[in-house]
Structure 1
Amino acid sequence: MEEQQNLEAIMGLIMYGGNAKSDAMEAITAAKAGDFELADQKIADAEESLVQAHHSQTGMLTQEAQGNHIQVTLLTVHSQDHLMTSIAFTDLAKEIIDLYRRMDNE
């Protein structure tokens, strides 16, 4: 059963990380079009996906801390990479949106 839970957590990282990155990209596109309300909503959606991904990650870290070591596979590494990329992309999207907002105000 533990193996199934680990797989679900790993897939959660990939899925929620992917959702966050997609929402962040949509936020940039909205800001570029001048729709800052949509851009803000998409960033909020991206951040919510990142929270969900962190819940998956926390479950795995808790297991590890309790001495229930999981086997590190390529899928595990990929899920962590996916999450970190999504976090960085979302942070960068916020900065790009801010630049579009400043340009719109000038």
Structure 2
Amino acid sequence: MLDEKTAQNAMQIILHAGDARVHCMNALKAIENSNFTEAKEEMKRANDEIVKAHRIQTNTISAETQGEAGDYSVLFAHAQDTLMTIYSEINIAKRMIKIFETFDARLAKLEQKEKEDGHE
């Protein structure tokens, strides 16, 4: 049977990771609208939440390595899987912001050049 502390930790990891996913998805929506400032703000919020989830995971694992009893838990394994999946999504979204910022800047430069050359 799963002890209450492990169950609470698992649920907190899932909660914070889920909140991180919401912010990450909001950032992707902002990227769609070329709103990179909002995207970066959402990614900061996503990062804050994923750090909270990671700390809970680390503290739980550290406690077990220091001798606290820790039985295998499907719920905790699910929480870890959720954490790592969303962490990967965050990393991809961060790269997408950089890619689309670069693309947007290059496109703006081309449009400006066309204006200057009289090709409006």
**Superposition TM-score, scaled by structure 2 size:** 0.81
Greater gyration radius = 2
Say what the alpha-carbon RMSD is for the aligned residues. 1.1
The code of the aligned residue for 2:38 comes to L
Per-residue CA distance 1:54-80 (angstroms, 9 max, x = gap): 121122112111111322222111101
Unaligned runs of 5+ residues in structure 2 are 107-120
Q: In the alignment, does 2:11 pair up with 1:26? A: no
- For 2:78, the equivalent position in structure 1 comes to 78
- Structure-2 separation of matches of 1:35 and 1:20: 19
Q: Equivalent pairs: percent with the same residue?
A: 28
The code of the aligned residue for 2:61 comes to L
Q: Which moved more, 1:81-90 or 1:17-26?
A: 17-26
DSSP 3-state at the match of 1:69: coil
The question of whether the paired residues in 2 share the 8 Å contact of 1:26 and 1:39 is answered with yes
The question of whether the paired residues in 2 share the 8 Å contact of 1:32 and 1:100 is answered with no
The code of the aligned residue for 1:11 comes to M
**Superposition TM-score, scaled by structure 1 size:** 0.91
Q: In the alignment, does 2:49 pair up with 1:43? A: no
Q: Cα offset for 1:85?
A: 0.3
Consecutive aligned runs of 4 or more in structure 1 exceeding 2 Å deviation: none
Unaligned runs of 5+ residues in structure 1 are none
Q: Larger relative CO (CA 8 A, sep 6+): 1 or 2?
A: 1
The question of whether the paired residues in 2 share the 8 Å contact of 1:17 and 1:49 is answered with yes
